Amino acid sequence: MKSPSDSCNQTEPGVGSGSDTIHNMIQVRRILDTAMDGIISMDANQKIVLINRAAEEIFGFRSDQLLGQPIEMLIPSRFCSSHRSFVEQFGRGVIQSRRMGAQRTVAALRATGEEFPIEASISQSGTGDDKIFTVIVRDVTEAVRYRQQIEQQSQMLDQVSDAVSVVDLDGRITYWNQAATRLFGWTAAEAIGRIASDLLYRGDEQVFAEMLREIDARKSWAGELVKTTRSGDQIIVEHRRSVLQDSTGTRTGYLCMDIDITARKRRERAAHRSQRLESIGTLAGGIAHDLNNVLTPIMIGTKLLASGRGEANRQGLLETMSASAQRGAELIKQLLAFAGGIRGDRSPVQINGIVSETIQIMEHTLQKSITIESRIDEDCPNVLADATELTQVLMNLSINARDAMPSGGVLAISTSSTQLYEDAAQLNPDARPGHYVLLKVADTGTGMSGETLDRIFDPFFTTKDFGKGTGLGLATVQGIVKSHGGFVNVYSELGRGTTFSVYLPAEAKQDPGSDAVAGMADSTIDGRGRTILLVDDEVFIIQMTASVLEASGYRVITARDGAAAVSLYEQHRDEVDVILLDMMMPGLDGLQTLDGIRRIDPEVPVIACSGLRTAQREMDALERGARLFIPKPYTEEQLLRALEDVLESPE
């Protein structure tokens, strides 16, 4: 006996196919309603015959409100005619493209009357009056809004005056605003896709590598870089770089901003030089005092020895005169470097030496009512710096302290080694974690108010009377310290004095022998009869230098000017082993003489020397073929060591 359920499952002949059809239609409807895009079908008269659930949600209508209605219900009235024409032409095969609308989006109409953008594509099935058109629609309101936002942001970035670019994790440029084009010369089309460092950067690779390391650790970096424009010009930019991340926190690239500060740096250099000259004027009395002290023992000693009255203490007199001459040479060297306005090469500098030399000068410059106290950390590491600029920093701070103590007081200068960690570094925007040398300059003077403290580093701001200062001193200090990667902190109270704390990054690697006296000659050095062509326009220098060389076993040929030097070398080229050539001579100067000699023999060793040493002068001599450059005044030991180094060199 069959169960009722079995009976119910029996199908009469001819009924099974209709049931399957219904079942299939239900399945198709379920599929349509699970689709994420809206699906609308219309007949040949463009009346809606099918709409899925996604389309209901997109347009805000129920299906019973749309079925049998013209498609124009979903289209803004101003577009109805063009839409109907498009569908008819598509049905006749006149239009092949399935995308609806000439642009990426077309306008649609919600039940609320709100217009919104959609992307739509059309297809057809059937023929004649049975033709069915099916449109797939996607609401792109958010995408269009996001695209418009991006375009607005891009337009805003094109309006800013700073160069803005974006690079991906491989350093490839992905965005380039109009200001970047104005600054660097490349258009966005030319720049996008290029490696930024290859396109723009020709500076110090160590600085660039340090920037990349720091941004990996801190997610941002700010500093100065030298970049190259399309025309090949080098410019100095203030570069700021920060990490870009997506919504998951994954790093996607870097946002870069560049501000051209080339003109500002040029003005700063001019201001530094002007301020140096102002400082020298202030120090003139002390320098004159020191020079007179240098010359006095030399003048007295020479008279005593010349008259024969100093024979009993001949060696002592000679040592005193030599020490005085050496002190005078160092003083002149320091003064020339300080006044020259020429930035020297960065090299390991022991700041304690700079402090000691500056204190010696200040002792003769400051009024007697000011006492100088110093506290030096003997284990202070070196800093990678320009010694001239650091001397200027200390001079400026000391003079500033003097002016704050018109009735006298105490000037305290100290050095120490200190370590800054992440939390301490965050207290100053210019600070970075690491090892620093700390230079402190404190006074017991009048102190400053909070209002004055806020402005002390502003260029041309001064509390001094008219004609007694330009206001560039502290601005110069801050500029120099920042260019060395350091920063300055100031603490002051009215009536309680002021303390300047200068933090300078310690040198990462130190040469244990860097503080040793270099260039000392071995007492066994012997000229072994080798011939030197000595060229100098100063008679006394020729006489003394020739005497030293001949006493050391060299044979000397002398020339008083460049023309004579070229002529003599042409005559004795097979005899001369090395040439000692002064760079500053009347008539044919040192560089012209060097060119003339090297035309005769490009391989002859030449040692250039000058009483005025600048980075450019030294570079010119070495680029024109000199093997070595030694500054005047040189000692016997320095001269003999230089000759030995050149003569024993394989080149």
Distance CA 486, CA 208 (A): 18
Q: Give residue 261's pLDDT.
A: 87
Mean pLDDT by 10 residues, the chain (651 residues): 39 51 71 84 90 91 91 90 85 76 76 89 79 88 74 61 86 88 90 88 73 81 86 87 86 89 78 61 58 75 77 79 76 56 65 87 80 90 85 85 89 91 65 88 86 63 42 68 85 88 81 39 65 90 85 91 93 93 89 93 92 73 89 82 84 59
Question: Does a structural domain hold residue 587?
Answer: yes
Q: Give residue 341's pLDDT.
A: 42
Question: Does a structural domain hold residue 315?
Answer: yes
Tokens of 355: 């402090």
Distance CA 490, CA 410 (A): 17
Distance CA 390, CA 395 (A): 9
* Cβ atoms of residues 431 and 397 within 8 Å: no
Q: Give residue 284's pLDDT.
A: 57
Question: Does a structural domain hold residue 12?
Answer: no
628: Cβ–Cβ under 8 A, 6 or more apart, which residues? Answer: 607, 608, 642, 645, 646
Q: Give residue 92's pLDDT.
A: 81
Task: Count Cβ atoms within 10 A of the Cβ of residue 250 and give its class: 0-12 exposed, 13-18 middle, 19 or more buried.
Answer: exposed
The verdict on 324 and 470 lying in the same domain is yes
The verdict on 307 and 387 lying in the same domain is yes
The verdict on 478 and 563 lying in the same domain is no
The verdict on 188 and 250 lying in the same domain is yes
For every residue of 570-639, DSSP letters joined together read HHHTTTEEEEEEES--SSS-HHHHHHHHHHH-TT--EEEEESS--HHHHHHHHHTT-SEEEESS--HHHH
Distance CA 133, CA 45 (A): 10
Question: Does a structural domain hold residue 588?
Answer: yes
The verdict on 92 and 217 lying in the same domain is no
Q: Give residue 518's pLDDT.
A: 38
Nearest Cα neighbor of 283 from 362, 340, 342, 338 is: 362
194-202 long-range Cβ contacts below 8 angstroms, 24+ apart: 195/170, 195/171, 196/165, 196/167, 196/171, 196/172, 196/256, 197/171, 199/173, 200/227, 200/228, 201/225, 201/226, 201/227, 201/228, 202/226, 202/227, 202/228, 202/234
The verdict on 336 and 456 lying in the same domain is yes
Nearest Cα neighbor of 351 from 489, 479, 517, 502 is: 502
The verdict on 198 and 122 lying in the same domain is no
* Cβ atoms of residues 282 and 399 within 8 Å: yes
Q: What is the CATH number of the domain that holds 639?
A: 3.40.50.2300
Category of 584 on φ-ψ map: left (φ > 0), alpha (ψ -120 to 50) or beta: beta
The verdict on 241 and 369 lying in the same domain is no
Going by their DSSP bridges, the two strands 487-492 and 531-535 should be labelled as unpaired
Q: What is the 3-state secondary structure (H, E, C) of 181-230?
A: HHHHCCCHHHHCCCEHHHHHECCCHHHHHHHHHHHHHHCEEEEEEEEECC
Q: Cα-flanking dihedrals φ and ψ of residue 44, to 5°?
A: -65, -20
In whole angstroms, what separates CA 204 from the centre of its chain? 9
Buried-state track 577-600, b at ≥16 Cβ within 10 A, e below 16: bbbbbbbbbeebebbebbebbbee
Distance CA 438, CA 505 (A): 9
Q: What is the CATH number of the domain that holds 247?
A: 3.30.450.20
Q: Give residue 336's pLDDT.
A: 58
The verdict on 350 and 496 lying in the same domain is yes
The verdict on 56 and 124 lying in the same domain is yes
- In the block, tokens 């198709």 appear at 28
Last residue of a domain, one of 220, 238, 260: 260
* Cβ atoms of residues 599 and 622 within 8 Å: no
Question: Does a structural domain hold residue 517?
Answer: no
Alpha-helical segments (H) within 73-204: 77-92, 141-159, 178-184, 188-191, 196-200
| Cα dihedral across residues 548, 554, 557, 560: positive or negative | negative
Q: In sequence order, what are the beta bridge partners of 370? A: 409
The verdict on 213 and 140 lying in the same domain is no
Q: Give residue 566's pLDDT.
A: 94
Question: Does a structural domain hold residue 345?
Answer: yes
Nearest Cα neighbor of 52 from 135, 139, 125, 115 is: 135
Q: Is 268 helix (H, G, I), strand (E, B) or coil?
A: helix
268: Cβ–Cβ under 8 A, 6 or more apart, which residues? Answer: 479
- Give the DSSP H or E segment for 138: strand 132-139
Q: Give residue 400's pLDDT.
A: 83
pTM over 0.85: no
Q: Give residue 162's pLDDT.
A: 80
| Cβ neighbour number for residue 456 with a 10 Å cutoff | 22
Last residue of a domain, one of 109, 144, 179: 144
Domain span holding position 375: 266-505
Q: Give residue 333's pLDDT.
A: 61
Q: Give residue 636's pLDDT.
A: 82
| Cβ neighbour number for residue 645 with a 10 Å cutoff | 14
The verdict on 213 and 132 lying in the same domain is no
Name the domain count of the chain: 4
Question: Does a structural domain hold residue 524?
Answer: no
Distance CA 213, CA 25 (A): 64
* Cβ atoms of residues 39 and 50 within 8 Å: yes
Question: Does a structural domain hold residue 15?
Answer: no
